[in-house]
Amino acid sequence: MEVEAAYLPEQSDVATDKYVFAYHVTISNESDVPVTLARRHWYITDTNGKIREVEGEGVVGKTPEIGPGESHEYTSGTVIEGPIGTMKGSYEMFRPDGTSFKADIPEFELRMPRTLH
């Protein structure tokens, strides 16, 4: 799994502590069976340590099936209160036999450029 985050200054409002970030995720299926991404669960932490949980069905309105050796990419976004934050979480994935597993999303940074931590 790969994640790239980018600060969106044109959508942010520093005066009101509204910092907008886009993140692009690439999910690769390295197994020998197709999997379906059914649910997402995120923990989003802002500069002040405030944690927000976001969970729901699929990603960006889809529950993609990812074949063996294939990847699925999507871009989404989040708003935090401060110039620095983090995201981490998991996806609930289903195999054709109905069994499920969680795919962990390692923590990644949300950082406005030229900001020290």
Please state the pTM of the whole predicted model.
Answer: 0.92
- Cα 54 to Cα 14: distance, rounded to the nearest angstrom: 23
- Please check whether residue 12 is in contact with residue 18, taking contact to mean a CB–CB distance below 8 angstroms: yes
- Please check whether residue 39 is in contact with residue 94, taking contact to mean a CB–CB distance below 8 angstroms: no
Q: CATH class for domain 2-111? A: mainly beta
Reduced to 3 states (helix: H, G, I; strand: E, B; else coil), residue 15 is: helix
**Percent of the residues in the chain that have a pLDDT greater than 70, as a whole number:** 97
- Cα 21 to Cα 101: distance, rounded to the nearest angstrom: 28
63 closest CA partner among 32, 100, 30: 100
pLDDT at residue number 114: 81
Q: pLDDT digit string (tens) for 39-90?
A: 999 999 999 999 999 999 999 999 999 999 999 999 999 999 999 999 999 9
User: Average pLDDT over the chain, rounded to whole?
Assistant: 96
